[in-house]
A and B are shown apart, each in its own frame.
Chain A
């Protein structure tokens, strides 16, 4: 426990029970311990869930109490941040919670509600200012405007490239589904594109788009240039094509052969077959492709920070340059949270798209 919950002030570790008077720390530590014990218990799922939640509440309590207590009298430039032990405990407890939740098999709507609750709690804690003494949030306070605009930029990159990839990928996927030759030519090319390391891809976009910006009249006016948003966006779109096209093809091919034969035999036109049979049956797989793209692009958009494309990556790489851990966290933590939230939402959509299959065992 010593190692597992210590705190760092200006680089010095402070153990959990030393951060504040015992009357304050004991409830938190006890909650964490009880939470861990309950969370590990093998068979009672609900017990494990409540244990994990209790443990996280304990951690939060320690954090809320500890930060101001430590800062008190430590000088204006002092910084408090949770150390490795905190993060490890947090990850363990979150995994226990995720595991217990998975065992409970909540329906898609329940999961949506759960996600909303988690986001509201997270938002409330951050908004209330209870944690505002933490150094990550001090970094945030210093960069509030930049944070918001980079956040919008990040979302724009991730969702915009998703939308562009969908607009290009769906028709391409339908065509590939219909013509085996085109499929044979397209999919390998797209999977090679996917293979190119992200930094190299972003880098390669720079000379290409730089050249386009310089030679095509009017291209620069709409923001096409070697550095910035455009190369990042294009790289993300290229990465997204394989999951979109590949899963569209796989999804459309997932309809049972007998159902397709019956659809043809009863007089459906190719368009009707696509809209009424192949597309609805393939929707879960197609949405899974979009889930892959969204999660992948939220992650990859970080790299845009390196080529001036903006997004949370800006903070991450600034932080890495300045060896400023808190700045790295300010970029990395929202990215991770965004990716997890997006994955959960997309999973819910995939489940909703699945036809009633309750009786199939």
Chain B
């Protein structure tokens, strides 16, 4: 409760200040920077790094969502059921792969830059969404499905009007997991020369500048926590609506 009322706006304000007015924090970070060294990261504007970071995550997650949900719909249809065991195996094995290793392995195949990061984020992001979409689409209330068929909805109508809306909260949970992982992996993406906020942290590590590390860490951490929180709120809102709808019916 206290988080919702007070902490959330405070964290948003802190994040905005860190990104837009980094110079305000010079007195705070001064003791952490090496003597005479720069206190605030200036090689690139924090705003542009943030936007690039978020853009990367958004693009990868959006693509992963579209592909994963489509695949989940396909394998939950009668025609695609044969592929379900295989897809489950791929998901299980795939999630065992550490995201960092996926990123590292993408480099030999795709070279440096934003490309491999995007691919690694996309590939890894597929798994939680796919898994949750399957769960959501296969654990629908039997009575509801019977009723949908009983009132004469076509298969497509059932999918669009009943299955997807009912599975939406679970799918959203998958997207949230995926976005959180993507935010973290994108940070490491800066080691393969993608432009992300990880750059600030890495620069700090390489030059022993704790001020950089703290800045980058705070910004990335705040982004992750706030995005996570926003998505949790969205899920709660949706499932609350659905609960009250089902108790009315």
Do the two chains touch directly in the complex (Cβ atoms below 8 Å apart)?
yes
A residues whose Cβ falls under 8 Å from a Cβ of B: 42, 84, 87, 94-95, 98-99, 102-103, 188, 191-192, 194-201, 203-204, 206-207, 210, 226, 295-296, 298-300, 302-303, 306-307, 313, 316-317, 319-320, 323, 325, 328-329, 331-332, 335-336, 339-340, 343
Question: Given A200-B217, A306-B191, A316-B104, do A99 and B89 touch, yes or no (CB 8 Å)?
Answer: yes
Contact B98 A300 (CB under 8 A): yes
Which residues from A are CB-within-8-Å of B186? 197
Note all chain A residues with C-beta closer than 8 A to B105: 328-329, 332, 336
B contact residues around A191 at 8 Å (CB): 228
Q: For residues 191 through 227 of chain B, which have their beta carbon under 8 Å from a beta carbon of chain A?
A: 191-192, 198, 201-202, 204-205, 210, 213-214, 216-218, 220-221, 224-225
Is the beta-carbon distance between B112 and A323 smaller than 8 angstroms?
yes
User: How distant is the Cα of A331 from the Cα of B99 in the complex, in angstroms?
Assistant: 13
Residues of B contacting A204 in the complex (Cβ-Cβ under 8 angstroms): 213-214, 217-218, 221
- Residues on B lying within 8 angstroms of A by beta carbon are 3, 32, 82, 85-86, 88-90, 93, 96-101, 104-105, 107-109, 112, 180, 183-188, 191-192, 198, 201-202, 204-205, 210, 213-214, 216-218, 220-221, 224-225, 228-229
3 closest A-B pairs by beta carbon, nearest first, are A299-B98, A197-B184, A203-B217
B211 to chain A, nearest CB (A): 9
Q: Is the CB of B201 within 8 A of A98?
A: no
Which of B100, B204, B224 is A303 in contact with, Cβ under 8 Å? B100
Chain B residues, CB < 8 A from A328: 104-105, 107-108
**In whole angstroms, what is the CA distance A269 to B90 when docked?**
46
Q: List, in ascending order, chain A residues with CB within 8 A of B214's CB.
A: 203-204, 207
Residues of A close to B97: CB separation below 8 A: 299, 336, 339
Nearest-CB residue, chain B, relative to A291: B96
A302–B192 CB distance below 8 A: no
Q: Is the CB of A203 within 8 A of B96?
A: no
A sample of 7 cross-chain residue pairs with beta-carbon separation below 8 angstroms, ordered by A number, consists of A195-B180, A199-B198, A203-B205, A204-B217, A295-B98, A328-B104, A340-B93
B104/A332 in contact, CB under 8 A: yes
Instruction: Pick the residue among B89, B188, B228, B229 that contacts A199 (CB under 8 A).
Output: B188
The A contact surface, by secondary structure, is helix
When C-beta atoms are compared, the residue in chain A nearest to B179 turns out to be A195
Partner of B96, one of A201, A226, A302, A340: A340
Closest CB-CB distance, B66 to chain A, in whole Å? 23
Interface centre among B82, B204, B205, by most chain A C-beta atoms within 10 angstroms, is B205
B205: A residues at CB distance < 8 A: 203, 206, 306-307
Q: Which of B98, B108, B192, B201 contacts A200 (CB 8 A)?
A: B201
Task: Give Cα A195 to B220, complex, Å.
Answer: 10
Q: Do the beta carbons of B93 and A210 come within 8 Å of each other?
A: no
Of the residues A84, A98, A192, A323, contact of B225 by C-beta under 8 Å: A192
Chain A nearest CB: distance from B217 CB in Å? 4
Cβ of A203: which chain B residues have Cβ within 8 Å of it? 201, 204-205, 213-214, 216-217
Tell me the bound Cα distance from A56 to B112 in angstroms.
30
Q: Within the assembled complex, what's the spacing in Å between the Cα atoms of A216 and B89?
A: 49
Q: How far is the CA of A201 from the CA of B100 in the complex (A)?
A: 15
Instruction: Please tell me which one of the listed residues A99, A102, A325, A335 contacts residue B101 in the complex, with CB atoms under 8 A apart.
Output: A335
Q: How far is the CB of B93 from chain A (nearest CB, A)?
A: 6
Whether B201 pairs with A298 at a CB distance below 8 angstroms is: no
CB distance from B219 to the nearest CB of A (A): 8
Report the nearest B residue to A208, measured CB to CB: B214
A188 and B108 CA atoms in complex are apart in Å by 39
Q: A199-B187, A200-B187 are in contact. Are A98 and B89 (CB under 8 A)?
A: yes
> How distant is the Cα of A70 from the Cα of B82 in the complex, in angstroms?
42
Bound: A331/B184 CA distance, A: 20
Q: A298-B98, A302-B100, A306-B202 are in contact. Are A325 and B217 (CB under 8 A)?
A: no
